[in-house]
Structure formats: C-alpha cells, structure tokens
C-alpha cells in the first residue's frame, strides 16, 4: 500500500492552498475540472481523506467514505452532462498506470467519442 504525501497538489487543493474550478462537493468528496483537459468534459473526483490511490482507498477507507465517493462520481457525471452521451472513468493507480498525482482521483471523460480503451501492446 502506498505512503501518502500530504504535500501533493490535490492535498493542497483540499486545504485551500491552491484554487480549483469546483464542480461538486459532498461530505467525503470533491470534484473539479482538470487543469489540462483531454476531452470536452474532463473532471476529477477526489476523496477528502488522505488516500494515495484506489488500492489504498479500497483497503483503508470506511464504508461510508467509499459509498459517498462512488455516488459523488456518478452524480458529478450527471451534473456536467456527461451521463447523457456516455463517459469513461479512469483512475491511474501506481507506477504501471503512470499515476502522476499521489492522491486518489477518478477522471471523468466525456463530451466526445472516446475511442478504444487502450493501445494493444506493440502498437
Ligand atoms: P494522473 O496521471 O492520473 O495522476 O493525472 C493527474 C491529472 O491531474 C492530470 O490530468 C493533470 O492535468 C491534473 N492536474 C494536475 N494539477 C492539477 C490542478 N492543480 N488542478 C486540476 N487538475 C490538475
């Protein structure tokens, strides 16, 4: 399980040290626009607790946090209009997934046809 770095950029957003373009907030989750969007809709949903990635969160967060976070992701997708045409959820977890920010975040991509999920090996 990953160690949590309290100085990562999303921890700083949660503490109000760095601004974000907030979309939605619950007791345990915060949703905001990605600073470098890869699709017409590109929103990040993060838990408010100190969890480095999905592995850490699902191993250590309470059932209440996990339920709140999961619902917040679906509610955010509806709120930004992504649910109508369909959307993709991505959460990069650890080294193999090239996770850049070590605080769990779910990407919501939508607003256009998103193509295939992954390149095949060797492509
Ligand atoms: P990942 O590779 O899954 O860790 O993705 C990190 C994401 O965080 C990238 O899509 C970045 O564009 C996004 N990001 C980094 N800094 C910020 C920030 N200050 N506000 C919003 N999104 C950010």
- Residue-wise pLDDT for 29-54, tens only, equals 999 999 999 999 999 999 999 999 99
Closest to 84 in 3D by CA, of 110, 107, 117, 106: 110
pLDDT over threshold 80, residue 1: no
Which is it for the CA torsion 71, 15, 58, 66, positive or negative? negative
Q: How far is the CA of 117 from the centre of ligand 1 (A)?
A: 19
Nearest CA to ligand 1 atom 12: 36
How many whole angstroms separate alpha carbon 4 and alpha carbon 50? 7
Any catalytic annotation for residue 105? Answer: yes
Query: Are 38 and 44 spatial neighbours (Cβ–Cβ below 8 Å)?
Result: no
Residue 47 CA: distances (Å) to CA of 15, 65, 84, 114, 123: 13, 8, 24, 25, 34
pTM: 0.97
Q: Is the CB of 67 under 6 A from ligand 1?
A: no
Q: Give the pLDDT confidence of 70-93 residue by residue, as tens digits.
A: 999 999 999 999 999 999 999 999
Kindly report the protein residue whose alpha carbon is nearest to atom 18 of ligand 1.
35
Q: Is 19 in the pocket of ligand 1 (CB under 6 A)?
A: no
């Amino acid at each position: 399980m990953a160690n949590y770095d309290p100085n990562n950029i999303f921890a700083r957003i949660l503490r109000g040290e760095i601004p974000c373009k907030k979309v939605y907030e619950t007791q345990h989750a915060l949703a905001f626009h990605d600073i470098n969007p890869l699709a017409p809709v590109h929103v990040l949903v993060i838990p408010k607790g100190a969890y480095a990635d999905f592995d850490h969160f699902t191993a250590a967060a309470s059932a209440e946090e996990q339920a709140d976070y999961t619902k917040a992701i679906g509610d955010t997708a509806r709120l930004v209009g992504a649910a109508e045409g369909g959307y993709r959820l991505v959460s990069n977890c650890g080294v193999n997934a090239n996770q850049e920010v070590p605080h769990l975040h779910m990407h919501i991509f939508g607003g256009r046809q998103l193509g295939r999920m992954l390149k095949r090996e060797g492509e």
